[in-house]
A and B are shown apart, each in its own frame.
Chain A
Amino acid sequence: SSEFNASYSMGRLHIEHMGGERVFSCANCDCPLTNRQQLISTRFTGATGRAFLFNRVVNLDTSELQDRVMLTGRHMVRDVSCRKCKTKLGWVYEFATEESQQYKEGKIILERALINESEGFPDPVKD
């Protein structure tokens, strides 16, 4: 079901994987992004509706820095897109002008409609 055109990438992309028991991936190309352990909050809103705030996400490209006024105040953000298929997925907070919003700095918003949740497995290594 993936409609992306892979031929414009050069070399073989280095795709990381964070593992975890519930894995989130790009809905368009199934590239792994993050997992439920990294989920901080589900109560955000993006262009397509509900959005999740995550602590750490891999395999993202970031845009140039943008100055954006949101419901919660003025922020400096970068758009993030899937490294593999270039679909825009959300944004990352780089700077929040209001002190109460500073907890979001460095965290990533992914829009719920643009990601899939699937079953992963626990890490069997104990040490």
Chain B
Amino acid sequence: LLELMENGSGCLNGSGAADSAEKAQQQQQCPAVQLSERNREAVRVIGQYLRELGLARSAEALVLEAGCPLESGAAAQFRSSVLLGDWDGAEASLASLRRALWRESSWSEIAFRLAEQRYLELLESGAHIAALCVLRGKLTPLQLSPDRLHRLSGLIMCSGPEELRQLSGWSGAAGGTRQALLDSVEQFFPPSVMLPPKRLSVLLDQAVRAQVSRCRHHNTSLSPDQLTLLADHSCQAAASVPSVCSQVLDAHQDEVHVCQFSPNGRFLATGGRDCVAIVWLVEAAANPPGAPRVRHHLTLRIGEERGGVAWLAWSPDSRLLLACAAEEATEVIVWEAETGDCIKKLKHRDEDSLTTAAWLPDSNHFVVGGNRGHFYLCSVDVGFEKAWDFIRVVALATRREDDGGTAVLAADTFARIRRYRFDTMQDETLFREDGPVMSMSISQDETLLAVCVASAGVHLWDLRLRVCRRRLHGLTHGAYLLHASIGGPNQDFVASGSHDARVCVWHRGCQAGDGAQQHLLPDKLSGHGGLVSCVSWNPRHHGMLASASDDCTVRIWLPASLAAAAQAASADGTGPGGAGFSSNGCCSSTVSKHQPPPLL
């Protein structure tokens, strides 16, 4: 192995000043710079990167000046032979590399792959006799897996290159398979002989991912390879985390209990004890772009005898709004949000109590339920369709499944979250909470479920792995229902109401701690004058948060940078529109940041 590397390293072993000076005179190739072991590795990795980019001359110049070859001579020889299709030359180089292997036994595997590539290329070009010779003379004597041999020999029957490529899954001599062969062989040699493929790209990617995992307010949809290398990545809190109240909406006459943005982010629906559901429009100011403001659109009445609006649900196409009333709720109402037309009043039986609902993806079917044990599948077209008996429903969500059907997720009074398929009448318990469930909210990409557990906090469950990923603490507990919402482009943010009149916002933390249940403390937004029951993230304007409170108002929160822009826009004269809309500037809101506790 040493003799393979000596070409480059010999002249760097200078023992004394006089010695090295002499050698420097003798060998023109000797570099002017003394390189440490780490530096030499860096040079090799950079050289490989340049070569992969196609800058071969730069790579060569680098090697010459640093006196540090990218890989051993025999390895370079092997590489160029394979790329040129000089199979005999490749075999010869391989023979001289044999001693350098990690394990002697891998030699036959490499020889097999080399011969396999040769065989396939010969078949592709139509030289069947030659291919057969390779099969008999090179592949068979290696006595490796008979299955592979059998599969390869079967390919002789292919009628042409197209069929060969299709059946074998091999993309052809021109399809990058020679490079792929080199990449696959590299793992058998120590890095000093042959570098692992794309080494510098891998290192850079690891560094960026580590920065992303440390980013406390990470709120971007850019993937790691789109982030700049020139500075450590860190999302600015001011640009991503809501901290300023930009609007106070006071059109409601009584406590507001629910707020929901529509899936397309264009509408906000709010409702509460005054038995009225209000639809608001979200408008993004043109100049500067991205500063969203909310204005009143419609007021929809549900009737005084119902005890208030208990829940509001948007259809997935953002066209329809469904309202459930409070405890004595026998009827749910569906309106078209744009026009305010009531298109369905659904009532099944007089003793029903339907206090929560969720839509299915077709924007026609929906499920409703309540804790008296009513759990129905309904549709706008037909009305009541199917009942699932004896389940006391506390909260509902829906999720598309792999087979194309939709599962209904229901939390019940036994603190179980279960999955129901109304098409196959199949059900299953997904997980159990360790306290009574108050409400539940699914992320937009349907991977995470935020469960509000009384006196415990918000628990984030991963729906694919069926484990609890985070337990979010710090909200103030009490006797009243709280709702949470998951938002942000990567489902990174969770917000919830709290009994101390503040809105809690958590960033759910880095991905690197998977499996460890991290305990995180929230940022708290002050401003409301009463219990905050419900919050909702805008799915399109990330960072925009709505909160509903017992102080009869709904507040809109924006990141500091966006809020400044929104205020500037309102000062230009885009004043209040409909009744009961007050646009004031920044309200007295403060953000108190908790220091994150040491990771448990």
Q: List A residues at the B interface (Cβ < 8 Å).
A: 6-7, 10-19, 32, 83, 120-125, 127
Contact = CB atoms under 8 A, between A and B. Distances in A.
Nearest to B549: A11
Given A13-B479, A14-B454, A125-B429, 19 more contacts: A11-B480, A11-B533, A12-B326, A12-B480, A12-B533, A14-B438, A14-B479, A14-B481, A15-B371, A16-B413, A16-B454, A17-B371, A19-B414, A120-B373, A121-B389, A122-B390, A124-B390, A125-B427, A127-B429
Nearest to A124: B390
Contacts of A11: 255, 257, 479-481, 531, 533, 550
- Secondary structure call for the B interface: loop
B350 to A, nearest CB: 15
B429 A14 contact: no
B307 interface: yes
B282 interface: no
A17 B307 CA distance: 20
B436 interface: yes
Interface of B: 255, 257, 273, 307-308, 310, 326, 371, 373, 389-392, 413-414, 416, 418, 427, 429, 436, 438, 454, 479-481, 530-531, 533, 550
24 contacts: A10-B480, A11-B480, A11-B481, A11-B533, A12-B257, A12-B481, A13-B479, A13-B481, A14-B454, A14-B479, A14-B481, A15-B371, A16-B413, A16-B436, A17-B371, A19-B413, A83-B479, A121-B389, A124-B389, A124-B391, A125-B414, A125-B416, A125-B427, A125-B429
Given A124-B390, A127-B429, A14 B533 contact: no
Contacts of A13: 479-481
B583 to A, nearest CB: 26
B394 to A, nearest CB: 9
Contacts of B454: 14, 16
Nearest to B327: A15
B390 A121 contact: yes
Contact of A17 (B310, B390, B413): B413
A99 B390 CA distance: 42
Contact of A123 (B273, B414, B479): B414
Contacts of A122: 390
Contacts of B533: 11-12
B418 A125 contact: yes
A19 B390 CA distance: 10
Tell which of B257, B390, B416 has the most Cβ of chain A within 10 Å.
B390
Contact of B392 (A10, A19, A127): A19
B373 A121 contact: yes
Contacts of A125: 414, 416, 418, 427, 429
Contacts of A120: 373
A119 to B, nearest CB: 11
B372 to A, nearest CB: 8
B530 A10 contact: yes
Contacts of B257: 11-12
Q: Which of A6, A11, A15, A83 has the most CB of B within 10 A?
A: A11
Which residue, of A13, A17, A19, A122, has the highest number of chain B Cβ atoms within 10 A? A17
A102 B257 CA distance: 43
Contacts of A83: 479
A19 B392 CA distance: 8
A10 B533 CA distance: 10
Contacts of A6: 307
Most central of B255, B307, B373, B413 by chain A CB within 10 Å = B413
Nearest to A29: B327
B407 to A, nearest CB: 16
Contacts of A14: 436, 438, 454, 479-481
3 nearest A-B residue pairs (beta carbon): A11-B480, A17-B413, A124-B390
Contact of B531 (A7, A10, A19, A32): A10
Contacts of B480: 10-14
B376 to A, nearest CB: 16
Nearest to A7: B273
B413 A18 contact: yes
Nearest to A15: B371
A12 B391 CA distance: 21
Nearest to A12: B481
Contacts of B429: 125, 127
B63 to A, nearest CB: 66
A122 B480 CA distance: 27
Contacts of B550: 10-11
A63 to B, nearest CB: 15
Nearest to A61: B479
A31 B233 CA distance: 54
A79 B203 CA distance: 67
A27 B490 CA distance: 49
A11 B532 CA distance: 8
Contacts of A123: 390, 414
A12 B257 CA distance: 7
A121 B413 CA distance: 13
Nearest to A6: B307
Contacts of A32: 371
A68 B480 CA distance: 32
A6 B306 CA distance: 12
A13 B533 CA distance: 10
Nearest to A18: B413
A47 to B, nearest CB: 26
A18 B454 CA distance: 15
B389 A10 contact: no
A13 B454 CA distance: 11
A32 to B, nearest CB: 8
B252 to A, nearest CB: 14
Contacts of A7: 273
- Scoring A7, A83, A120, A125 by chain B CB atoms within 10 A of each residue's CB, the highest score goes to A125
B413 A12 contact: no
Nearest to B256: A11
Contacts of B255: 10-11
